[in-house]
Homo-oligomer: A and B are copies of this chain.
C-alpha cells in the first residue's frame, strides 16, 4: 500500500516549536515560499545533557558542508540524525540561533526580537531544557559562505519554493525547529517553514 506522506505542519514566521522524533522516523523540513531558514536543535530523549554538536559532527564527517549521506552527531559521539535527502545542499552549522543579544548587536536601531533562541527556549521549556543548554543549531537552508582567511557572512538562502531536506532520527529525540526571525538569514523578510514527520514505514520510500 502506498500512503501519502504526512501532511505538513506550519511554523508561522518568527516562531518555533518542539516535538518528539522517534528513532526511525523521518523529519521533512520544507521551505514553502523559498529563501527561508529553519534552525534545528536536537536532544537525546533519555540522556539529559546529550545534544546535537557541531564540533563532533565536523570531527566525524570531516566537512563543514553537510548534505545527503552525512550524519549529525551528539556531544558524546553518537550519530543522532542522518540526512537522507536534500534538494538544496546549502546549510549552516557554524552559527547560533539569533537572539535578543544578536538583534542588538547586528541591527542597532531596528526592532529587537527574541529570535530563534527565544522561540526555542519557550518551545523546549516543557521538555526541561534550559536556554543555556541550546547548542549551536543546524541551520537548515542557511547560506554562510566561507571567504578568504576564514571570513564568514550571512547571505540569502538558496532554497526555492518547495525545497526540502529529510532527516532520519537514529535515536529518540526532542527536536526544536524554527522559522527564522533574523533579517539577514532570510534575505530581509519573514516567512513560514513547513515540516512533517514520516513514520518509520514512510521513511523507506
Contacts and interface: CB of A to CB of B under 8 A. Distances in A.
Interface string A141-173: 000001001111100000000000000000000
A96 B78 CA distance: 13
Identical copies of this chain, number: 2
A62 interface: yes
Contact of A53 (B56, B136, B153): B136
A6 interface: no
A130 interface: yes
Interface string A118-146: 00000000000011111111000000001
Contacts of A131: 76
A198 to B, nearest CB: 28
A150 B65 contact: yes
